[in-house]
Structure 1
Amino acid sequence: MTARKETQAVRKRPVRPVSADLLGVLQAIGTGAYVVDEEGCILGANTLAEELLGFSAEELVGHEAHDLLHRGPHGRPLPRTQCSMRQAFHAGRTAQAEEDYFARADGTLLRISWLITPYACGNDDSCTLVVFHPVESEPESSAPEEPVTASLTELERLALLAETTTQLTSTLDVDEALRRLVGLVVPRLADWAIVDLITDRDEVWRTVVVHAEGETLVHREDLQGPMPPVPQQSQMPLSRALRGVASTLAGPRTYDRVPDSGIAVEQRHLFNATGMHSVAIAPIRSTREVLGALTAGRSENPLSFAPADLPLIEDIARRAGLALDNARLYQRQRKVAETMQNHLLPQMPGVPGIQMTARYLPAPHASQVGGDWYDAFPLPDGSTALAIGDVVGHDLEAAAGMAQVRNMLRAYAWSQDEAPSRVVERLDEAIQHITDVSMATMIFARIEAADDGTWRISWTNAGHPPPLLISEDGMAHYLTAGHGLLLGTGADRERPDATACLPAGSTLVLYTDGLIEDPGHTLDVGLDRLRRHAAALVHRPLAGFTDQLLRRVRPERNDDDVALLALRIPAREA
């Protein structure tokens, strides 16, 4: 029976589809490769694996890899207890073998060497990457080939490149990308990793200098900092790399000559301070420009880098360049978005006798502005309007919609001397006809001082989380009255109003759902967390109260922006 026929008998089960990014990583590996899930079932394979095994990807996916492929040297099924690959798979560790056997679709055996390693497939899924290539029989007298690097086998080199791709492309934070980059280079390839980056102002900055001390990576901040400009005519290795000219090997003698530039002086100092005897320097390029240079250095390792090592260092630097370029573009977009959002949000008005403060925090993992907003402004009758809201979406359209809603609310509130519910009813009617806002939530309130010196709030709530009122002695409760439908539903219903007294020394908190929503937990959990922390912090000055409340309450897994508006009523005079 051929292996293809055996495939019909081997149990196949549905598996989750793999991402296009993961398939791209598999295709980038220069030999056969596939990924299995936590049960050992194949999730995806590259084209080279299909060619080597004779199975199509569709025939491989869903099958238990050991049962379908792994064989003994005579073609018999290999017991799981005798399978070193299976043992390493269950232990969740990296392992390799120089000789083993896979079954081809036509029933013949493929003599292979393999390497497996745990692999992050995304969405917190645990997978294992299997990399293999055929092993040809060689005459006993033939001399073993020199490995591509002094420390890595061919399979380890391919696995490192695959890991580099997935590690560097899965973050949009420059600092995190650099941390992952040096973790890939040190200590597997080198004892030292140095990254010099060219800033937006065309200055060179020695951003990272890391040394491996055992399994610990030690940052040498004393060797980091600004560097002299890149000389255009210098033929010294780092200068050439920073101009994107070429990758080069170098050693202390390279910089023993009379320095031709300030960078050469700094390089001589680097060799003296680190004790490196051999380095490989490669440009870090994006598709548009040179971003910097990667230096891998050896001091404790007695083996010097060889010319055959440069392609691997170049490949790693090339992948780092693409990742850093994406991260820089993301950070620029995020900065523009945050600046735009901050300019759209208003300054707090001065209300005699009342303290007021507001905060806006963008989504931690989003590159776009959001629809969360707050507002406070005086009204013609001497009262003060408060508003907080959230336009559905996390993009420029949401931000534009937010600005429209806020400006329309101001116009209606100023021109119409009516209850908050009526103002919001008019706003709801208008946004459905003259804006692109699909749905939004908001609270619109009016606060004013009574003749006896007390303060009163009247409000209506359009589908928004309720305000929180904390007394001076730490009693906290939500103002749940006045709750109606969110904006944009098209339902023709009257909106309710509610009123409450604001006791002397009390603090009122208006907020958006990003402060309380935590994936995996109910909304009540977030509301209770906010209430408890607000009660504990109410004795602090209002600015400190607001900052600490955001720091303590905002969920770590939050991926939403947050707006918060807080005000404090003056305490009674002693």
Structure 2
Amino acid sequence: MSGPTGDGERDAERDRYRFLAEVTDALAESLDSGTAADRLARLVVPRLADWATVTVLAGDGAPGGVARAHRDPDLLGAVDTYLAGRVTAPRDQAALVSALHSGEPVHLTELEPDLGPESLPEGPVRAAWDLLDPTSSLFVPLRARGSAIGVLSLVRCGDRLPAGPAEVALAVEVGRRGALALDNARLYGRQLRVAETLQHSLLTPPPQPPGLELAVRYRAAVSEDLVGGDWYDAFELPGGATVLVIGDVTGHGVEAAAAMAQLRSAVRTLAYDSPAGPAGTLDRVDRVLAGLHVGTLATALVARLEPAGEGDGRLLRWSSAGHLPPLLLAADGGVRLLTTPPERLLGTGDPGARTDHATTVAPGETLVLVTDGLVEIDRGGIDEGLERVAGALDGLQGLPADALCDRLLTRVLPARTDDDVAVLAVRVLA
């Protein structure tokens, strides 16, 4: 039969597991290192400390960002004053270095009541220290995948006793879980930056052929989804035609950005080097994807604007591999969707001919190509989204292409979007 002591130990163990599960769940929700550090600091207060800081090392090993929390929100200002103005005491510096290098916690069960002006400058910094009244501190190294990534500092104040062995062990386990979450967030951020850099390096400014006015826009997703594979392209052919391309590779992240780079290069090369029209270009791209086993699925629309004769505007020929239809804004403000029967995506490997379509774009009209991030807002339907985009073009017919793109994005996009958006607008001047 269990006694009171046994029941108390089991209750304490269950409470410990609940707390650690709470830490794991809270940190797993964020893939931003700053948010993860802030959550870690708040999670350990007041259970393990009266105030806490999380210092995350920068890439060169120097101290980077610092998150902090205090059990009394009114004292956060004092914490900030101390952190901003302190001159690290030799004993603290040694403790931090020891924790980082050894991977073991360093516990200072007593703090010197007067560290001297060389560590705490007179004035606001010393006043903040006195107000906080720290009496013990525990430095827990944050290590993940064999490397030190930061330090969790737990400070107790006033009459509160220093952490006992069980609390030190709990702090070490919290630090282990926190370090893994922080490192995951850093890796995520690094991957996101690589994908964004790769994508932006390929989304170059468009040419400005005689008689045409081109503008492009790219808006990256700002949700926790990684950057996707949306792209646009525009270039001139020797005979005077202008090729327009817009597309969207399935997936997100570095893989999608890399696949987009391959696909964009293939489309650009084959469209430039082939006398065939847009449908022929997409056919050749399909053969390249299959022959090289690229394994990429994507929507794409390839179009050519060709001179139609003096004063007659341009002949538009296009073919779509499962992409959204072009929108044509007339000089009188009317908007026409250039809808065509759906055809297969690039990379499916399915046989079947692709089709060219044609219409005339008169002077004063603007052709607008978009990706689904502008259409499927909040996971809405495609037809409804296209109607919304067409409505947003109302009254924009007299604007230059650049201004039209800006006004369109302002009218349609919310402040935060969960998908990438690419827009390519071409206004025919003559």
Query: TM-score of the superposition, structure 1-length normalised?
Result: 0.61
Relative to structure 1, the CA distance from residue 199 to residue 408 in structure 2 (aligned partners, 3 Å threshold; closer, same or farther) is closer
1:419-454 deviation per Cα after TM superposition (whole angstroms, max 9, x unaligned): 333333344344433452454321111124552174
Q: CA deviation at 1:328?
A: 1.1
Which letter does structure 2 place at the counterpart of 1:303? R
Which residue does the alignment assign to 1:303? 160
Secondary structure of 1:490 counterpart: coil
The question of whether the paired residues in 2 share the 8 Å contact of 1:419 and 1:497 is answered with no
Mapped to 1, the partners of 2:48 and 2:88 lie a distance apart of 29
Secondary structure of residue in 2 paired with 1:324: helix
Q: In structure 2, how many angstroms separate the alpha carbons of the residues matched to 1:209 and 1:538?
A: 52
Larger Rg: 1
Distance change >3 Å, CA 317–CA 540, structure 1 → 2: farther
Q: Give the equivalent residue in structure 1 for 2:149.
A: 291
- Higher share of residues assigned helix: 2
1:210-249 alignment to 2 at 5 Å? 210-213=69-72, 236-243=94-101, 244-249=103-108
Residue 375 of structure 2 corresponds to which residue in structure 1? 516
Cα distance change on mapping 1:437 and 1:326 into 2, 3 Å: closer
CA drift at 1:240: 3.4
The answer to whether the Cα contact below 8 Å between 2:328 and 2:366 also exists between their aligned partners in 1 is yes
Q: Pick one of 256, 260, 265 that aligns with 1:407.
A: 265
Q: 2: CA distance between counterparts of 1:550 and 1:275?
A: 53
Q: What residue in structure 1 maps to residue 66 of structure 2?
A: 207
Q: 1:518 to 1:293 in 2, by over 3 A?
A: same
- Match of 1:493, SS? coil
Shift of the 545–404 alpha-carbon distance from structure 1 to 2, 3 Å rule, reads same
The residue identity in structure 2 corresponding to 1:161 is L
- Report 1 or 2 for greater relative contact order, CA contacts < 8 Å, sequence distance ≥ 6: 2
**Percent identity (aligned):** 35
Instruction: Work out the CA distance in 1 between the residues paired with 2:372 and 2:408.
Output: 14
Q: Counterparts of 2:142 and 2:302 in 1: how far apart (Å)?
A: 52
Change over 3 Å in CA distance of 1:323–1:397 after alignment to 2: closer
Distance 2:398 2:133 in 1: 56
Tell me, yes or no, if structure 1 residue 327 matches structure 2 residue 185. Answer: yes
1:527 equivalenced with 2:386 (yes/no): yes
Give the partner amino acid of 1:478. L
Q: CA deviation at 1:378?
A: 0.3
Residue 498 of structure 1, aligned match among 353, 358, 363: 358
Q: Which deviates the most, 158-167 or 200-209? A: 200-209
**Which whole-Å CA distance do the structure 1 matches of 2:404 and 2:153 have between them?**
47
Name the CA shift for 1:512/1:415 in 2 (closer, same or farther; >3 Å).
same
Question: In structure 1, what residue type is equivalent to 2:162?
Answer: F
d(CA) in 2 for partners of 1:219 and 1:253? 19
Please identify, of 317-326 and 437-446, the stretch whose mean Cα deviation from structure 2 is larger. Answer: 437-446
CA offsets 1:354-387 (integer angstroms, 9 cap, x no match): 13223262684355x7543221100112121100
Supply the distance in 2 between the matched residues of 1:470 and 1:354 (Cα, whole angstroms). 14
Name the structure 2 match of 1:59.
Answer: none
Contact 1:338 1:362 in 2 (8 A): no
State the distance in 2 between where 1:334 and 1:228 align.
35
Instruction: Report the alpha carbon displacement of residue 251 of structure 1 after superposing the two structures with TM.
Output: 5.6
SS of 1:354 mapped into structure 2: strand
- Shift of the 155–227 alpha-carbon distance from structure 1 to 2, 3 Å rule, reads same
In the alignment, the residues of structure 2 paired with residue 500 and residue 221 of structure 1 have an alpha-carbon distance, to the nearest angstrom, of 65
| Paired residue secondary structure (1:156) | helix
Q: Which residue of 2 aligns with 1:388?
A: 246
Partner of 1:156: 15
| Higher mean C-alpha deviation, range 210-219 or range 442-451 | 210-219
Unaligned segments of structure 1, at least 5 residues: 1-110, 112-135
**CA RMSD, 1 decimal:** 4.4
2:353 counterpart SS class: coil
Q: Deviations over 1:234-273 (max 9, x none)?
A: 76434433444533235652661585x899xx99786346
Find the residue that maps to 1:318 and give its secondary structure. Answer: helix
Amino acid at match of 1:237: A
